[in-house]
Amino acid sequence: MLSDDALGHEWDYHLGPKDPEEEEGPWGGGLGLPPPGCFPGSWYQDVGLDCKGAPEGAEARAWTVYYYGLLQSCLQQAGLPETQDRSPAPRTGCPGAEVTLCILGAPSTYLSVLLEGGLQSPGNMLLCLSPAWLAKVPAPGRPGESALLVSKAVSFHPGGLTFLDEFVPPRRATYFLAGLGLGPGRGREAAELARDLTCPTGSSAELARLLEDRLLARRLLAQQGCVPVPATLAFTYKPLGLLQGGEASPGLRLVELSGKEGQEALVREEVRAFLCSEALGDALQVAVKLSGWRWRGRQHLRLHPRADPGMVADTVLALLERLEEEEAVLVEAMCLPARLPCPGSPPPGPELAMRLCALVCRTQGDRPLLSKVVCSVGRSDRPLRHQSSLPRSLEVALAQCGLEEAAQVATVRRRVKEAAEAALAAVLALEAGLSAEQRGGRQVRTDILGVDFALTAVGRSLTPVALELNGGLCLEACGALEGLWAARRPGPAAEDGAAAPLVETMLRRSARSLVEGKRLLVVGAGGVSKKFVWEAAHDYGLKLHLVESDPNHFASQLVETFIHFDVTEHRRDEENARLLAELVRARGLQLDGCFSYWDDCLVLTALLCQELGLPCSPPAAMRLAKQKSRTQLHLLRRLGPPWPAPSLHAVPCCPLASEADVERAVHQVPLPGVMKLEFGAGAVGVRLVEDAPQCHEHFARIARDLQGEADHPGIGLGWGNSMLLMEFVEGTEHDVDVVLFGGQLLAAFVSDNGPTRLPGFTETAACMPTGLVPEQEAQLVQAAFRCCLGCGLLDGVFNVELKLTGAGPRLLEINPRMGGFYLRDWIQELYGVDLLLAAAMVACGLRPALPAHPRARGHLVGVMCLVSQHLQALRSTASREALQALHDRGLLRLNLLEEELVPGEYEEPYCSVACMGPSPAEARLRLLGLCQGLGIDGPHYPVAHFLSHFK
């Protein structure tokens, strides 16, 4: 409750001048000089803050010095070293070919994002302290759009290291985020810089003007997001177009005025009716405030008792005189502070109230994700505002107010999460209906949103009620909470950083920006399991040219150029590469890169890249990785430093080209062993052999059944049907998908496989992320990385199959292309990283824009369906249509791998079905229940057994 002496009092939400024409700072459009003597020390002395070619006036220079000092103060309080000035020796680089995440704004607001960016993408997160450090230049081929160039910035690196850098030539921004304003000053300059850019932009003045309008935000949240908002009466004068018409919102009444004068009777009648309405519930006070872009950050709040409609109406009429077009006067119910249980006697003094600040980010697939919740706690008789109290976590704040029971705290957190994510979902839905002009540019999207809540009691439940949306205030509050831990190590885990999802989105959007319009030659179209390639390429703006053997392949109609060429005879790859290069030149194709994701075409692609002078791993390395026995025997000889050597992971084997080779191999390779095709794929023809007769029998069977490409297309028989015998190693099987660039490991994703149905090795089940302890996961990643390097694979996306034995990781094989089956889809769903996009970037000679430490958003557990085991179910209860319907409802994740239900002795999986959950156990239980209901589980295909490795 509010005390009597507070009634009718005017409160400022933020320190600063009350006159809306006097903005509070340069990013809001201020004209004054910064406060003198804010920061002790000589940080600004002898530091090159001037930007060549863009001199600043005295006032602008003063603000640049001020923000440099503010940055040093923030770093100092976080226990981080002072910025080093490297500007006398300008940085060189590859403008347009590198990730450049640029922020223009107050360092205190964006510090958490800057530090996280320095960790996730070292040296590519840049802070500009002045608009003069940036320039817009017209973008060729993009009428009305401009590229944003960075001439000077503070760059961020791991460990909180920062450098003042100058860039010659300037770096081209691949992502831009700015503090915005409409008034004169830096806020307006930032808004102009953000408008109509070719690079992805995290906000714009146009969007901010909409979202930070309290009335529009509340109507949007109440109508589209079903998020509770305070009961509100709004008087508008020439309202925003988005507020005109539409359905009424519960508890939100909009009164459109024909003018600002002569409205007294209408205002008094509406106020009296509103204060008597049931929509206000038990509220005893109402607040009267102004709504509109001009009033953000310096809101005047006047509190009145609900029982005094005359005073409320007088305040409304007085504020109407200050109203301009598209602004409003709001009368809103003051949410009663939640009465939380107090152990023992009630505490002396006034009740405590809570204001919750939720930061929510847009992630992969335009999904909202709650990043962090920060709370303010204060007297209930005084309005809480940002920066008026120390930030604290939700758990600590609730405990301070008397609520410590874990289940109740979890319920409050869940409700805040649902409401905050619904708020961003409503914002994204609004943006989807806006034109590029209304958003401020083609590439403008809201990637981060702050939602302020009051925690109040509705019935017997604690309910978050949304008060307003904001840009940087919640971000700053989250950073401040993390900063409290900065000087203490260990503090909250790195994955708890509020800015991590935002930085991942910045990198993802940067990657799209870098590949947009790139021209790629794809060799081999693949089957139905690769249909996603063509959809993704269109989404990313890639221009694809295709080389394919099948003239009627569906993908031939989805590309810029189709070249019909037989790529199945791999003994002629060198000659074919020369012929293809001549065809490419004859057609005048200007290519940025060339790549393949199809096993059969990997060596041909490397040879073609060599002919055309395009980036790729060397053909010798691809040949080495493609032939399984050569891979193992080559690595077994890699004994030298650095230790541990790749030889530790190789498995003894022997190539088999004839019956005589089989006889020799059984005396060289310990049995039981595994026989497989040298150039095979999909585990076709792989078998456990326990003695010499089984070895001879299986060799003869393969030699008879799988002689050439026509016998089983797409598994590598164009290379021949030679085999190998390798030692069988006990252990759990895992896939490691790695992204390498210039011999550096940029990302790795580990998944676990279930037990196979011996004596065959067709995959049965899988789980991601891995359930291994971190040390074992790291062992697998490093083993995969060392084996790739040992074979000379330096650039690309590779899939490495290993077993984790009692003696450590052992290599099964290297697939020198991105992982097949469901792997690309799962990694994108869980981590927001697209291996196809990474492969396209590497093929164009671009370093993939990947987060250094991607975090999974859940757990996926899946099983394979086989025609030989599930034909009846796949024709009825688990038909393609039934599975697709379940996929569309979000109940399972379907990856179709084959087009036809054709049983055969040498089969590959027909499809993968998976379930997602917050834990492996929950995902596993969901999947098992579905498989039992769909008829996938059975005595001959015991799904529970296949999932047993994931406990």
Residue 577's region, left for phi above 0, alpha for psi from -120 to 50, else beta, is alpha
The answer to whether 846 and 97 have CB atoms below 8 angstroms apart is yes
What does the pLDDT read at residue 421?
95
Longest dimension (CA), the chain: 106
What does the pLDDT read at residue 182?
47
Strand order in the sheet with 593-595: 561-564, 543-548, 519-523, 593-595
Q: Cα–chain-centroid distance for residue 487?
A: 28
User: How far apart (Å, rounded) are the C-alpha atoms in residues 465 and 413?
Assistant: 13
| Helix%, strand%, coil% for the chain, nearest 5 | 35, 25, 40
User: How far apart (Å, rounded) are the C-alpha atoms in residues 559 and 336?
Assistant: 61
Assigned token pair, 457: 């009691």
Q: What is the pLDDT of residues 522-540, one digit of tens each?
A: 999 988 888 899 999 999 9
What does the pLDDT read at residue 902?
79
What does the pLDDT read at residue 824?
96
Burial code (b: 16+ CB inside 10 Å, e: under 16) for 308-319 equals ebebbbbbbbeb
User: How far apart (Å, rounded) are the C-alpha atoms in residues 56 and 64?
Assistant: 9
User: How far apart (Å, rounded) are the C-alpha atoms in residues 27 and 638?
Assistant: 58
Is the backbone peptide bond immediately before 350 cis, with ω within 30 degrees of 0?
Answer: no
What does the pLDDT read at residue 5?
30
The answer to whether 208 and 446 have CB atoms below 8 angstroms apart is no
| Three-class secondary structure of residue 340 per DSSP | coil
What does the pLDDT read at residue 31?
47
The burial of 485, by beta-carbon neighbours within 10 Å (0-12 exposed, 13-18 middle, 19 or more buried), is given as middle
The answer to whether 102 and 148 have CB atoms below 8 angstroms apart is yes
Q: What is the pLDDT of residues 689-727, one digit of tens each?
A: 999 999 999 999 998 988 887 878 777 777 888 999 999
CB neighbourhood size of 845 (10 A): 16
User: How far apart (Å, rounded) are the C-alpha atoms in residues 11 and 529?
Assistant: 61
Q: How far is CA 778 from CA 784, 800, 817, 949, in A?
A: 10, 14, 21, 19
3-state secondary structure 362-395: EEHHHEEEEEEEEEEEEECCCCCCCCCCCCEEHH
3-state secondary structure 254-315: EEEECCCCCCHHHHHHHHHHHHHCHHHCCCCEEEEEEECHHHCCCCEEEEEECCCHHHHHHH
The owner of tokens 């030679």 is 722
pLDDT along the chain (951 residues), means of 10: 33 35 46 63 70 79 89 90 93 82 93 93 94 94 93 95 94 92 67 94 89 87 85 87 68 84 88 91 88 71 88 92 86 78 52 83 92 81 68 85 84 93 94 93 94 81 87 81 60 61 95 94 88 92 94 91 89 93 95 92 95 94 94 88 87 93 92 92 88 93 86 79 93 96 95 92 94 96 96 96 95 94 95 95 94 90 95 94 95 92 83 95 96 94 92 74
User: How far apart (Å, rounded) are the C-alpha atoms in residues 458 and 714?
Assistant: 62
CA nearest to 450, candidates 466, 422, 470: 470
Q: Strand 519-523 to strand 543-548: parallel, antiparallel, or no bridges (unpaired)? A: parallel
